[in-house]
Structure 1
Amino acid sequence: MNKALHLKKHVLSAICLGVLTACGGGGGSSPSISQQAETFSQSFTESGISSSAVSFDAHATASGEVASREEGSDGLKAAQEDIKSTLINLGFDVTEQSFSYRVWNKNSATLSVGVDALNNFAVIKYSPASNGEINGDLVWLNPTTYNPGSAHAPTDGCADTDFQEAINNNGKVIINNIVMLQAGGCDTEQKILLAQKYKAAAVIMFKSQPTGADDTSVYDTALPYRLNPVVTIPILGISYNKAESYFRFNVNKDIILNVDVSQEERNGKNIIADLKGRNENQFVMVGAHLDSAAGSPGANNNGSGVVAMLEYAKVLVEELGKNAIDPLRSSLRLAFWGAGEAGKYGSASYAEANFDAKYQQILNTLLVETGKATYAELSEGEVEILSRRMQASNAIKAYINLDSIASVNGFYGVLDGDISSTSSDSSSAYGSGKLPLPADGGQYHIENSFKNAFLGLNTNMVPLLLDNKGDYEAFGKYHVPFGGLFSGADGTKSESLMATFGGEANKPFDPCHKKDCDGIDNMDTKVLLTNTRVMAEVVTTYLLKDDIFK
Structure 2
Amino acid sequence: MKRSVRPSRRALAVTTATAAALALALAPATGALAAPPAAACDNRNNNTIAKLTQCVSADGVKQHMDALQSIADANGGNRAANTPGYEASVDYVVDTLTAAGWKVSIDEFDYFVRAASDLQQLTPVAATWENEAPAGTGSGDVTGTIIPVDLVLGQPNGTAVTSGCEATDFAGLDFSGEADIALVQRGTCEFGIKAANAQAAGAEAVVIMNQGNTPERSGVLTNITLIGANPDELLIPVVGTSYEAGASLASAGSTARVNVPEPVNYPQKNVIAELPGKNTANVVMAGAHLDSVPAGPGINDNGSGSAALIEIAQNMTKLKPQNTVRLAWWGAEEEGLLGSTAYVEELPQAEKDRIALYLNFDMIASPNYIFMVYDGDQSGFEAPVPVPDGSVEIEDLFERYFTSVGEPYDDAEFSGRSDYQAFIAADIPAGGLFTGAEEVKSDEQAAIWGGTAGEAFDPCYHQACDTIGNIDMHALEVNSDAIATAVLAYSYSTELVNGVRGASVPGGLNLPDPAGPQDTWSAGGGGLSHDHDHALIAG
Classify the TM-score, shorter chain.
0.5 to 0.7
Give TM-score scaled by structure 1 length: 0.63
Distance in 2 between the 1:479 and 1:31 partners?
Answer: 24
Secondary structure at the aligned position of 1:520 is classed as coil
Query: Which of 80, 85, 88 does residue 95 from structure 2 map onto?
Result: 85
Give TM-score scaled by structure 2 length: 0.64
Distance in 1 between the 2:186 and 2:64 partners?
Answer: 50
How far apart are 1:122 and its partner, in Å? 8.7
Corresponding letter in the other structure for 1:81: D
Q: Any stretches of 5+ residues in structure 2 without a counterpart?
A: 1-16, 31-47, 122-128, 151-157, 244-249, 500-539
Secondary structure at the aligned position of 1:341 is classed as coil
CA shift digits 1:393-449 (9 cap, x unpaired): 6222322211111111122122333555334xxxxxx64xxxx5045x333333333
How far apart are 1:288 and its partner, in Å? 0.9
Distance in 2 between the 1:200 and 1:438 partners?
Answer: 40
Query: Which of 199, 215, 218 does residue 202 from structure 2 map onto?
Result: 199
Distance in 2 between the 1:257 and 1:457 partners?
Answer: 64
Matched, 1:51 2:60: yes
Corresponding letter in the other structure for 2:66: D
Structure 2 match to 1:332: 325
Distance in 2 between the 1:127 and 1:28 partners?
Answer: 51
Secondary structure at the aligned position of 2:356 is classed as strand
Distance in 2 between the 1:348 and 1:255 partners?
Answer: 42
Secondary structure at the aligned position of 2:282 is classed as strand
Structure 1 match to 2:376: 417
How far apart are 1:105 and its partner, in Å? 7.8
> Do the aligned partners of residues 44 and 122 (structure 1) sit closer, same or farther apart at CA in structure 2, a change above 3 Å counting?
same
Query: Which of 335, 349, 370 does residue 342 from structure 2 map onto?
Result: 349
Distance in 2 between the 1:174 and 1:534 partners?
Answer: 60
> Do the aligned partners of residues 191 and 546 (structure 1) sit closer, same or farther apart at CA in structure 2, a change above 3 Å counting?
farther
> Which moved further from structure 2: 217-226 or 299-308?
217-226
Structure 2 match to 1:395: 354
> Do the aligned partners of residues 192 and 307 (structure 1) sit closer, same or farther apart at CA in structure 2, a change above 3 Å counting?
same
> Do the aligned partners of residues 166 and 339 (structure 1) sit closer, same or farther apart at CA in structure 2, a change above 3 Å counting?
closer
> Do the aligned partners of residues 261 and 485 (structure 1) sit closer, same or farther apart at CA in structure 2, a change above 3 Å counting?
farther
Structure 1 match to 2:105: 95
The alignment's C-alpha RMSD in Å is 5.1
Query: Which of 494, 500, 504 does residue 545 from structure 1 map onto?
Result: 494
Corresponding letter in the other structure for 1:232: I
> Do the aligned partners of residues 28 and 453 (structure 1) sit closer, same or farther apart at CA in structure 2, a change above 3 Å counting?
closer
Corresponding letter in the other structure for 2:291: D
Structure 2 contact 133–260 (Cα < 8 Å) conserved: no
Structure 2 contact 53–485 (Cα < 8 Å) conserved: no
Structure 1 match to 2:413: 465
> Do the aligned partners of residues 238 and 59 (structure 1) sit closer, same or farther apart at CA in structure 2, a change above 3 Å counting?
closer
Query: Which of 393, 401, 411 does residue 445 from structure 1 map onto?
Result: 393
Query: Which of 463, 471, 492 does residue 523 from structure 1 map onto?
Result: 471
CA shift digits 1:320-348 (9 cap, x unpaired): 36xxxxx42x3221111122334332112
How far apart are 1:133 and its partner, in Å? 7.0
Matched, 1:286 2:295: no
> Do the aligned partners of residues 203 and 283 (structure 1) sit closer, same or farther apart at CA in structure 2, a change above 3 Å counting?
farther
How far apart are 1:530 and its partner, in Å? 1.2
Structure 2 match to 1:127: 137
Secondary structure at the aligned position of 1:463 is classed as strand
Structure 1 match to 2:236: 232
CA shift digits 1:252-309 (9 cap, x unpaired): 9999987666755323111111222233122221111112233633321211101111
Query: Which of 431, 449, 472 does residue 483 from structure 1 map onto?
Result: 431
Corresponding letter in the other structure for 2:285: M
Structure 1 match to 2:508: none
Secondary structure at the aligned position of 1:340 is classed as coil
How far apart are 1:131 and its partner, in Å? 4.5
Structure 1 contact 37–536 (Cα < 8 Å) conserved: no
Percent identical residues: 26
Corresponding letter in the other structure for 1:545: T
Distance in 2 between the 1:129 and 1:353 partners?
Answer: 25
Report the count of equivalent residues.
Answer: 439
Structure 1 contact 407–509 (Cα < 8 Å) conserved: yes
Matches within 5 A, 1:490-501: 490-501=438-449
> Do the aligned partners of residues 267 and 60 (structure 1) sit closer, same or farther apart at CA in structure 2, a change above 3 Å counting?
farther
Secondary structure at the aligned position of 2:447 is classed as helix
Distance in 1 between the 2:373 and 2:19 partners?
Answer: 34
Distance in 1 between the 2:364 and 2:292 partners?
Answer: 14
Secondary structure at the aligned position of 1:44 is classed as helix
Structure 2 contact 146–183 (Cα < 8 Å) conserved: no
